[in-house]
Structure 1
Amino acid sequence: MSTPTQRIVSGMRPTGPLHLGHYFGVLVNWVALQEEYDCLYFVADWHALTSEYASPGRIKQFVPELVMDWVAAGLEPEKCTMFLQSQIKEHAELQLLFSMFTPLGWLERNPTYKEVKGELEGAKDLSTYGFLGYPVLMAADILMYRPHLVPVGQDQLPHLELTREIARRFNFLYTPLFPEPQAKLTEAQKLPGLDGRKMSKSYGNAIHLSESMEQVTPKIMSMLTDTNRMRKKDPGNPDQCNLFPYHVLMTDAGKRTEIVSGCTQATLGCVDCKKMLLESLGAFLEPMRARRVELENNPRRVWDMLEAGNRKAHEQALETLTLVRERVNLEYKELSALRS
């Protein structure tokens, strides 16, 4: 059992509506962590600009949508701090100070830099200082709150190690201040998209947390299943069916046993299997939808949550940055009278 003082920091970019892949990959862990740790979750709108700098209008639009999805998924402002990255200006100052001693080679070897740049080549120009240097901003986001743990998947460990390297370099050059946050490895339940590819809003193959069952139903009914099962009388293989992972995550064990038996023995057709999934999905999404509708009917509450979170985050950020300025000899107390 962890102590109440242990802190966790994580963020998410407001670039579009969240889907079931986000829920099972990230949010289900965030919700569990808020019960045990001092959690700070931030809307990473500055990070969104690293790739969306040419079309920033949509970012602000998705900020309240993102927070509504978080609360609908189970985050509670009484149990965690939710805040808006760009409103805590100390993040930018800490990024600037970190950038002074972060070697260029550290950024160029970042595996995500080449991967994402290659994926979007031709669609977006990511040969920018902001995109190359985003890990420094990420380190500032994390280290600002001096957390013990950062929830990450196995594929994100190189990013966290860069944050740890920046913390080590700062502590070596000046005096120790930052802990080297450890990875809180979280098992992400992977859910394929409706067409069998990775679930992504850009592929148009996702079920969004904000959608009604009227919107979800035609998606499920047209969903790709076992391609080897051409007719109902053909035995199927749930392990090769794009639909079955949804049942694994949202259908109770008893019904899953029935589905496996009916599929492999060709007594249950894919249409009936999809109808059973719709029942499970409806029961799963309905509580989320109810929490979201409450916020949609009172949008001011979303901004109130962020304002309260911003105040908490700002207090902690200012405390850290004051210590940083002292260590890098930039705390000019002689000028303090001019600040009042």
Structure 2
Amino acid sequence: MKRILTGDRTTGKLHLGHYVGSLQNRVRLQDEYDTFIILADIQALTTHFEQPELINNSIYDVAIDNLSVGLDPNKITMFLQSKVSAIAELTVFYSMLVSVNSLRHNPTIKTEAKQYGYDDLSYGFLGYPVSQTGDITFCNADLVPVGEDQLPHIEQARKIVRRFNNLYGRGQAIITEPEGLISNTPRLIGLDGNSKMGKSAGNAIYLSDTTQEVNAKIKSAVTDKNRISLRDKGNPDICTVSKYHEVFNYSEYQNICEMCRNAKIGCVACKKLLAKKINSILDPFRDKRTYYEEHKDEVRDIILDGSKRANIVGNETVEKVKRAMSIHIE
């Protein structure tokens, strides 16, 4: 069975965008691959180092989000990044093999630095693609599920692994060269219609939201601003609610669009249909969430047990790496 490495930064609860973009795919892949789920608390520090309480609280939030959507703790290895020493060691070794210029020219780094308003990058932020290489390779992951915007990080990891193997492998691959498993799932825009759904943008429906919260958020979602009354014909192509119907209510999407264009359904009724559909998706997750929130000791044990397994695997990898680099003594 091939191995997958995927996961989330612990910077807050996960939302529908995460579910559409990655979580539902993880649930499917856990039956096909040896799945490692990283709770990336160290990487969270690259942008949230001044909010340690948020990062700490989010460890449980993110773990429960993953478990509530259907990830089975008996099938996956969920671990805390900061508890796996091999990741830190490999990050140091790999940092010798990558230039500062290549990191500065990484398009994802550029985009995220602009997003956070960073003019003077910290060492940790600039180098987190190197740390990600440690995340991926400590367990010799074969595949990393990513969106197209994360491909530069995967390519950076592949370059580092190739250079390491060429320098120290003596004709053998000490480290597995990972491949990106591209997800073709749609990127969910925010309720405001102006950007992708994001934790910090205030435009998200969270997996932990109650029925009432979902109803209220969808009620406030942006629709066709030119449609003033029910008699006006709408344009679903520029309507946020329509785009959500396409993702979550696809069987009814064409019919809803047709009714909108012909003024046979109003925005209020359209939003109620969407809210009902999304709540029907979230209801099973809510049941599991209630269980895990009432049994946080069980969640803690899942994380700690996963971290133990991750350390066993990681220590074996580091031992091979050190031997290949001739920096060990008997």
TM-score range, shorter chain: over 0.9
Amino acid of the residue matched to residue 174 of structure 1? Answer: Y
CA distance in structure 1 between the partners assigned to 2:230 and 2:153 by the alignment: 47
Match of 1:6 among 2, 9, 12: 2
Matched, 1:324 2:312: no
Query: Partner residue of 1:103?
Result: 99
Amino acid of the residue matched to residue 91 of structure 2? Answer: Q
Gaps of 5+ in 1: 334-340
Query: Partner residue of 2:13?
Result: 17
Query: Partner residue of 2:28?
Result: 32
Match of 2:176 among 176, 179, 182: 179
Amino acid of the residue matched to residue 296 of structure 2? Answer: P
- Indicate the SS of the match to 1:243: helix
- Indicate the SS of the match to 1:207: coil
CA offsets per residue over residues 18-72 of structure 1, 9 Å max, x none? 1111110111111111121111110000001111122222101100000000011
Question: How many equivalent residue pairs?
Answer: 326
CA offsets per residue over residues 282-338 of structure 1, 9 Å max, x none? 2111001111011011111110110111111111101101101111112221xxxxx
CA distance in structure 2 between the partners assigned to 1:231 and 1:273 by the alignment: 14
Instruction: Out of 66-75 and 255-264, give the one that drifted further.
Output: 255-264
Normalised to the residue count of structure 1, the TM-score between the two structures is 0.92
Instruction: Out of 99-108 and 74-83, give the one that drifted further.
Output: 99-108
Match of 2:151 among 135, 157, 164: 157
Instruction: Out of 97-106 and 211-220, give the one that drifted further.
Output: 97-106
Matched, 1:276 2:286: no
Match of 2:110 among 101, 114, 117: 114
Query: Partner residue of 2:295?
Result: 298
Aligned-pair CA distance for 1:252:
5.5
Amino acid of the residue matched to residue 113 of structure 2? Answer: K
CA 1:106–1:263: 2 relative to 1, 3 Å: same
CA offsets per residue over residues 113-150 of structure 1, 9 Å max, x none? 222222222xx675211111111111011011112111
Gaps of 5+ in 2: none
Matched, 1:72 2:68: yes
Amino acid of the residue matched to residue 217 of structure 1? Answer: N
Query: Partner residue of 2:190?
Result: 193
Query: Partner residue of 1:205?
Result: 203
- Indicate the SS of the match to 1:10: strand
Aligned-pair CA distance for 1:237:
2.2
Match of 1:314 among 300, 311, 316: 311
Q: How does 1:40-59 map to 2 (within 5 A)?
A: 40-59=36-55
Task: Say whether the 8 Å CA contact 1:325–1:331 is kept in structure 2.
Answer: yes
Aligned-pair CA distance for 1:214:
1.3
CA distance in structure 2 between the partners assigned to 1:117 and 1:261 by the alignment: 42
- Indicate the SS of the match to 1:138: helix
Task: Say whether the 8 Å CA contact 2:40–2:80 is kept in structure 1.
Answer: yes
Amino acid of the residue matched to residue 320 of structure 1? Answer: T
Task: Say whether the 8 Å CA contact 1:238–1:260 is kept in structure 2.
Answer: yes
Query: Partner residue of 2:227?
Result: 229
CA 1:252–1:187: 2 relative to 1, 3 Å: closer
CA distance in structure 1 between the partners assigned to 2:120 and 2:303 by the alignment: 30
Query: Partner residue of 1:336?
Result: none
Task: Say whether the 8 Å CA contact 2:108–2:149 is kept in structure 1.
Answer: no
Match of 1:217 among 209, 215, 218: 215
Task: Say whether the 8 Å CA contact 2:23–2:69 is kept in structure 1.
Answer: yes
Query: Partner residue of 1:63?
Result: 59
Aligned-pair CA distance for 1:257:
4.1
Normalised to the residue count of structure 2, the TM-score between the two structures is 0.95
Amino acid of the residue matched to residue 321 of structure 1? Answer: V
Identity %: 41
Query: Partner residue of 2:128?
Result: 134
CA distance in structure 1 between the partners assigned to 2:237 and 2:139 by the alignment: 43
CA distance in structure 1 between the partners assigned to 2:233 and 2:77 by the alignment: 50
Instruction: Out of 191-200 and 100-109, give the one that drifted further.
Output: 100-109
Query: Partner residue of 1:338?
Result: none
